[in-house]
């Protein structure tokens, strides 16, 4: 896993370069953050395509007004907030009659061709899909992004205590679901 300090420093560096007119910095920023941003957006929208579209829309905004990201006190948290907001816009645009996509069918596997690991990823995504979106996004930000509850509170515009509470409820639900899944899957 990448050193969180190094990651945050690189986001800040690319944001500054982008603000100075270095167009190539947008590509570097995309390469560094896209997988993580899409993961958050999918947790909110429940659709791979909508999550990817939200991230692309944010990148277009950054290309048009790159100074906004560079002026942020914490560019990574600001970028997460931008993606979250855009994902929420996409979610609101969706028709209610549309049947929900099964997150376990999305492209969640790692390049490593390990069937057991893939099954674990699918089980986690299926369990994550069963959570309310406000709990799923806290899980993504805490576990995959390594943010503190204070940082999560800033990204979600809520108190750190609310973020922690959502996390605790979500972890309990995930634990039960994954335990049930483990009991259902025969192991050789």
pLDDT at 71 over 60: yes
| E-assigned strand segments in the chain | none
pLDDT at 185 over 80: no
How confident is the model over 66-70, as a mean pLDDT? Answer: 91
| Domains, in order of start, for the chain | 1-93 (1.10.1740), 114-188 (1.10.10.10)
Q: Using 50, 70 and 90 to split pLDDT, how confident is the model at 109?
A: very low
pLDDT at 99 over 60: no
pLDDT at 38 over 90: yes
Residue pair 54/83 in contact (Cβ under 8 Å)? The answer is yes
pLDDT at 34 over 80: yes
Residue pair 181/139 in contact (Cβ under 8 Å)? The answer is no
d(CA 160, CA 142): 12
């Amino acid at each position: 896993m990448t050193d969180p300090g190094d990651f945050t420093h690189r986001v800040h560096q690319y944001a500054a370069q982008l603000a100075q007119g270095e167009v190539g910095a947008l590509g570097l920023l995309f390469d560094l953050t896209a997988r993580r941003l899409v993961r958050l957006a999918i947790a909110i929208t429940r659709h791979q395509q909508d999550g990817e579209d939200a991230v692309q829309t944010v990148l277009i905004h950054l290309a048009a007004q790159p100074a906004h990201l560079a002026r942020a006190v914490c560019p990574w948290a600001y970028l997460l907030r931008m993606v979250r907001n855009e994902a929420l816009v996409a979610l609101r645009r969706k028709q209610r009659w549309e049947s929900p996509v099964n997150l376990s069918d999305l492209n969640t596997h790692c390049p490593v061709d390990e069937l057991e690991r893939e099954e674990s990823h699918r089980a986690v995504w299926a369990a994550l899909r069963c959570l309310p979106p406000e709990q799923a996004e806290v899980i993504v930000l805490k576990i995959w992004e390594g943010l503190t509850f204070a940082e999560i509170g800033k990204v979600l515009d809520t108190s750190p205590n609310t973020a922690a509470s959502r996390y605790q409820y979500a972890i309990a639900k995930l634990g039960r679901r994954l335990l049930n899944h483990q009991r259902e899957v025969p192991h050789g």
